[in-house]
Amino acid sequence: MTLGIEHVTVFDLDDTLYLERDYVASGFAAAGAWLAAERGIHGLGGAAWSCFESGHRGNIFDIALGHLGMTPDPALIARLVGVYRGHVPDIALAPDAAAWLSAPPPNRALALLTDGPVASQSAKIAALGLADHGLSPLVMTGTLGEGCGKPHPRGFCVIESAYGLSPDCFTYVADNAAKDFVTPRRRGWRTVQIRREGRLHQASPIDAEHAADRVITSLGEME
């Protein structure tokens, strides 16, 4: 047990501490700037963002290049994806998240558990200054091995082991009911779903087991 720590609040990252759509916009802008510099082709960032706003997912660069009159090339798509994932993101903590992290309750530790490509998540963590806010450990499931993304329990176990507290001393705050809450609930953690305006995952829980114990719209509502 870590001396003086009575509770651990563990945060998800995307759409929990900041809006993921801001990262998407930042990544498209970076990819567009790269294409303009390397090929002299302008407008990709805006075209990609328009596709995203229209609901397209997964093959946005292919569609956006088509809108620019280009035939998508696998090598070019791979390069654009690499630029997107590896860029230095222009993102910031949501105001309520910045306020909460700056003055958490006493005797409470903070940690992070996030899915996603390691390069992207590392860049987000650095851009948001999460280490400076005392979050530790910063667990990226992409570093834990194949198939260890949520709802796999390994990431939760890593954080439990770091503190040695009973399960009821942990709270997981996240946004996506499809995968975020079922495992910590089974382990005896408390769970809180934050539903931010502008979040990407709007769906309701699959069933009662996947629902969080509590739903909020701002970290200012956290007890």
What are the pLDDT digits (tens) for 144-174? 999 999 999 999 999 999 999 999 999 999 9
CA distance 188 to 201: 25
Q: Over its length of 223 residues, how does the chain's per-residue pLDDT go in tens digits?
A: 566 899 999 999 999 999 999 999 999 999 999 999 999 999 999 999 999 999 888 899 999 999 999 988 999 999 999 999 999 999 999 999 999 999 999 999 999 999 999 999 999 999 999 999 999 999 999 999 999 999 999 999 999 999 999 999 999 999 999 999 999 999 999 999 999 999 988 776 788 899 999 999 999 998 7
Q: Tokens for 214?
A: 């509590």
CATH number for the segment(s) 7-18+92-221: 3.40.50.1000
Longest dimension (CA), the chain: 62
Which H or E element spans position 220?
A: none
Q: DSSP secondary-structure letter at 68? A: T
User: Would the pTM of this model clear 0.85, i.e. be above it?
Assistant: yes
CA distance 25 to 23: 5
Count Cβ atoms below 10 Å from residue 68 Cβ, excluding itself: 14
Nearest alpha carbon to residue 18 among 114, 110, 141, 85: 114
159's CB contacts (< 8 A; 6+ apart) are 8, 10, 111, 113, 137, 139, 170
CA distance 138 to 10: 9
State the number of CA atoms in the 13 A half-sphere of 139 facing the CB. Answer: 25
